[in-house]
Amino acid sequence: MNVEQSLTAALMQTPGRKAEEEAWPADAHLHQPPEMSHLLLAERSSCLAVKTFLLMSGLPFSEQISENAEFMSPGGRLTHLPLLRLGPIATFAEFEPIVAQVEAMRAVNDWMSEDQREDVRCLVTYVENVLTLAELHMSFVDSGNYQLYTAPRIEAAHPWPLGLIRRLAKQREARRILKVYQWQDMDNDQVLHEVGLCVDALVAQLEEHQPEGFLCGQRPCQLDALVFGHMAAIATTQLPNMELAEILATYPRLMAHCRRIDERFFGGKLLAGVEQLELSK
Amino acid sequence: MPQSGRDGAASKDSKYDLSKISTRVDRVNVSGLLRTHNDYVMRAADGLFKTNNFQDLMLEAMSTKSYLHELGIFKDVSVHIDISRGADATPQGYEVTFKGNEMSRMMGSAGTEIGQNEGSLRTELTIPNILGRGESISLQGSYSSTRANDLQLKFWKPFFHTRFRENRPELSFSIFRQTDRFDISSFQTTNIGYNVDFSAHTMVGVDLTHSLQYENSIRDVGLLNKSVPFAIRDHCGPKLASLLRYSVIFDNRDATVFPTRGLLLKSVNEYCGLGGNIAYTSSTAHGEFNVPLFAGLVAQFCGRVGVVKETKNTTQLPINSLFYCGGPLTLRGFKFGGAGPVVEGTPIGAQTFWCTGAHLFAPLPFAGVFKNLASHFRMHFFYNIGNSNSFSTENMRSAFGMGLAVKLAERARIELNYCVPVRRQTTDKILNGFQFGIGYEFV
């Protein structure tokens, strides 16, 4: 009887305990290359989105600058960055795997219904793909941006001739990803059209939840973090060809939403310069 | 032999003492030079013209023959000594002719090669004597299942024909791609680059072999599995190394695999950080001292020490330049790399290490019966002491044991030992029992 009791008690306790065991480790580190000198547009978006998401979830982490973060990464679909390290061994890279890991450890989205969560997940994948591909296209296929922004930045991160080799390798990788999603033959207008469709969907989503304030309801979720990460990176990265930033600037409602997130989590510092840019127009 | 006819009277009482037969070399011919320039073999005759008796002449002819071999242009050389004939022949004149057979335009070979604790399959394609003065190009590929994959394209030019003939200077340039797997630490490194090597002998007092290398390479560290401690993951990615390497060897042993007497000293020093983004200095020294005892027993004392240090440009010591202590070539009785520091349960190389070994080699019992075969085998007793990251004798590792050692092709040694680790640390990976080792430089 006693044994049985304690056994059932143990079984009952197990799930509860497990949730406790999955505590957020004290040494959580977010690794990324130096933002101002090395990071490319798509990488910067991804890093910013992850950082925003972790801040939204209220999870403590320390930011680490690792020049080789891209190579330390356990893999990934698009940029391989940033790298989240939980404890001495576990590592996760890129926005979606990190969000999945955080969801598994913490009930961050419990306020949503299962259907809603499913919708958010779909939308996250769609937005992540379109915006990242557009950023890759803009930084590697657009020749002005490639020559004046992307290439010098990659080469600056390594001594010659390694920089040259890395530039060619990264260009090949970017072209490979674009080819996988059949974006390789698009011109800038087609890319901007795709971005427009994606942002239209986001604006519709925002209007649907107009009274509540965030993209999915009354609380910020990963979609807000992702959209903010990309919008902020695109708006604040000075490229020779700013077409991508210009098209986003035509969606004032979405920009206002991003500015609100900026105010709340970054003290309004990230998008401070963008306002002036718009005013000057 | 023509000497009996010419000098018969002069050497009646010392018929077989060839050193009393005076000679003068009138002519030296080297035949069979098709692609080789004449000046390349010019120095072959130097020694011969200086001889003045027949014994010296014969010895000198032999050494000239081996010199011609070393020039790397002939497949085989034969020597003919004859009296000189013709109008300008002197009374005691001789004529020495070397008939050489030049190497073919292209040579290929395939076979197995013994590296440090690994066997590998090696193929080689050589174009010898490409410009007529011993310059050669070779393409070499080797594959081994355990650790390394190499590809090397090498061009070398000997300067044996210059007045520095005795110093045996040689210059080489190679482009290489080399993969090393460090399975124990779950990473591998791929090096792609080139190196320029100049090597020469000096004979000031003692005979030393020097080699000075400059290497420029991209070293890419990658992981071998997913769950790797961050201390190792932190090193991933390509880096550019630019380094000078100087090595010096002193060797007066009477054999390389089973020496009975003599001393080997070897030192390799690297300075990395002439540009690129890897900076460190590394020094290793290896010594081996052999003393013959009674009844064919040989005592051997070995030692090795290595230090990697930061320079003032170092941000992070490269993980692939650290030392791994333990294994059949260093500390027997431990697994390869098993006697070093550990992070999160994974061994990682040490910044310094030392290990010593005392050996007793004995011929097999009844060795007299199978003389030829037995010369390839020895009984082997050993005691190893060593440590990583500490030069004190506290907490050191040690092991002893005995086994059988086999000589392989005058270069490599195979050992099968029964090992008993004596002192160890809790994180060490030991191997109590039989251990197999293959290599050419043991401690």
Question: In chain B, whose CA is at the least distance from the CA of A160?
Answer: B276
Q: How far is B266 from chain A (nearest CA, A)?
A: 33
Residues of B in contact with A76 (CB under 8 A): none
Quick one: average pLDDT of A24-51? 93
Q: Cβ–Cβ of A165/B218 closer than 8 Å?
A: yes
φ, ψ dihedrals at B71, nearest 5°:
-65, -20
In this predicted structure, which of A27-41, B109-123, B284-298, B348-362 has the lowest mean pLDDT?
B109-123
Q: Cβ–Cβ of A91/B230 closer than 8 Å?
A: yes
Q: Which CATH number fits domain B2-102: 3.10.20.310, 3.40.50.300, 3.30.70.141, 1.10.357.10?
A: 3.10.20.310
Residues 6+ apart with CB under 8 A from A216: A112, A116, A120, A205, A209, A223, A224
How confident is residue A152, by pLDDT bands cut at 50, 70 and 90?
A: very high
Q: How far is A71 from chain B (nearest CA, A)?
A: 5
How confident is residue B332, by pLDDT bands cut at 50, 70 and 90?
A: very high
Q: How far is B234 from chain A (nearest CA, A)?
A: 6
Residues of A in contact with B239 (CB under 8 A): 162
Q: What is the pLDDT of residue B365?
A: 78
Q: How far is B308 from chain A (nearest CA, A)?
A: 22
**Roughly what angle, to the nearest 10 degrees, separates helices A222-236 and A272-280?**
50
Mutation target vs A (from B187, B233, B243; most A CBs, 10 A cutoff): B233
Q: Cβ–Cβ of A70/B237 closer than 8 Å?
A: yes
Quick one: average pLDDT of A164-179? 95
Residues of B in contact with A38 (CB under 8 A): none
Q: What is the pLDDT of residue A50?
A: 96
Q: What is the pLDDT of residue A13?
A: 45
Q: How far apart are CA A221 and CA A205, in angstroms?
A: 13
- The b-or-e profile of B86-117 (16+ CB within 10 A means b, else e) is eeeeeebbbbbebebebbeeeeeeeeebbbbb
Residues of B in contact with A80 (CB under 8 A): none
Q: Cβ–Cβ of B240/A68 closer than 8 Å?
A: no
Closest in B229, B237, B240 to A71, CB measured: B237
Which of A99-113, A171-185, B40-54 has the highest mean predicted lDDT (pLDDT)?
Answer: A171-185
Q: How far is B193 from chain A (nearest CA, A)?
A: 11
Quick one: average pLDDT of B77-101? 88
Tens of pLDDT, residue by residue over B106-162, are 888 887 777 666 677 888 999 988 888 889 999 998 887 666 678 999 999 999 888
How confident is residue B249, by pLDDT bands cut at 50, 70 and 90?
A: very high
Mutation target vs B (from A101, A154, A158; most B CBs, 10 A cutoff): A158
Residues of B in contact with A161 (CB under 8 A): 240
Q: Which of B416, B415, B414, B418 is nearest to B433 (CA)?
A: B418
Q: Quick check: A224 pLDDT over 90?
A: yes
Tens of pLDDT, residue by residue over A194-216, are 999 999 999 999 988 877 778 88
Q: Token pair for residue A76? A: 């990934």
Q: Cβ–Cβ of B276/A159 closer than 8 Å?
A: yes
Q: Which of B368, B372, B386 is nearest to B422 (CA)?
A: B386
Q: Quick check: A229 pLDDT over 50?
A: yes
Residues of B in contact with A158 (CB under 8 A): 238, 240, 277
How confident is residue B14, by pLDDT bands cut at 50, 70 and 90?
A: low
A70–B contact, CB cutoff 8 A: yes
Q: What is the pLDDT of residue B3?
A: 40
Tell me the CATH number for domain B159-439.
2.40.160.50
Residues of A in contact with B237 (CB under 8 A): 67-68, 70-72
Q: Specify whether domain A114-279 bears CATH 1.10.287.
A: no
Q: What is the pLDDT of residue B9?
A: 43
Q: How far apart are CA A248 and CA A235, in angstroms?
A: 8
In this predicted structure, which of A4-8, A110-114, A133-137 has the lowest mean pLDDT?
A4-8
The mean pLDDT of chain A is: 87
Q: Quick check: A268 pLDDT over 60?
A: yes
Q: What is the pLDDT of residue A107?
A: 82
A33–B contact, CB cutoff 8 A: no
Q: How far is CA B187 from CA A72, A90, A178, B224, B346, in A?
A: 12, 16, 30, 5, 11
Where exactly does CATH 3.40.30.10 map onto chain A? 2-105
Q: How far is B223 from chain A (nearest CA, A)?
A: 9
Where exactly does CATH 3.10.20.310 map onto chain B? 2-102
Q: What is the pLDDT of residue B115?
A: 65
Scanning chain A, the segments in alpha helix (DSSP H) are 2-21, 41-56, 69-72, 95-105, 114-136, 143-145, 151-156, 162-180, 188-208, 222-236, 243-249, 252-266, 272-280
How confident is residue B19, by pLDDT bands cut at 50, 70 and 90?
A: confident
Q: Quick check: B356 pLDDT over 90?
A: yes
Quick one: average pLDDT of B299-312? 94
Q: Quick check: B359 pLDDT over 90?
A: yes
Closest in B236, B275, B276 to A72, CB measured: B236
In total, the C-beta contacts within 8 angstroms joining chain A to chain B are: 46
Q: Token pair for residue B229? A: 């401690």
For residues B426 and A151, the model is more confident at A151
Where exactly does CATH 2.40.160.50 map onto chain B? 159-439
Q: Cβ–Cβ of B237/A159 closer than 8 Å?
A: no
Question: In chain A, whose CA is at the least distance from the CA of B226?
Answer: A74
Q: Quick check: A18 pLDDT over 70?
A: no
Quick one: average pLDDT of B307-330? 91
Quick one: average pLDDT of B296-307? 94
The fraction of chain B above a pLDDT of 70, given in percent, is 94
Q: How far is A69 from chain B (nearest CA, A)?
A: 8
Q: Cβ–Cβ of A89/B275 closer than 8 Å?
A: no
Q: Quick check: B6 pLDDT over 50?
A: no
Q: Cβ–Cβ of B238/A162 closer than 8 Å?
A: yes
Q: What is the pLDDT of residue B148?
A: 65
Domain A2-105 CATH superfamily: Glutaredoxin (3.40.30.10)
Q: How far is B236 from chain A (nearest CA, A)?
A: 5
Q: How far apart are CA B113 and CA B409, in angstroms?
A: 10
Where exactly does CATH 1.20.1050 map onto chain A? 114-279
Tens of pLDDT, residue by residue over B34-68, are 888 888 888 888 888 888 888 888 899 999 998 88
Q: Cβ–Cβ of A71/B238 closer than 8 Å?
A: yes
Is the ipTM value over 0.90, yes or no? no
Q: Which of A184, A247, A198 is nearest to A226 (CA)?
A: A198
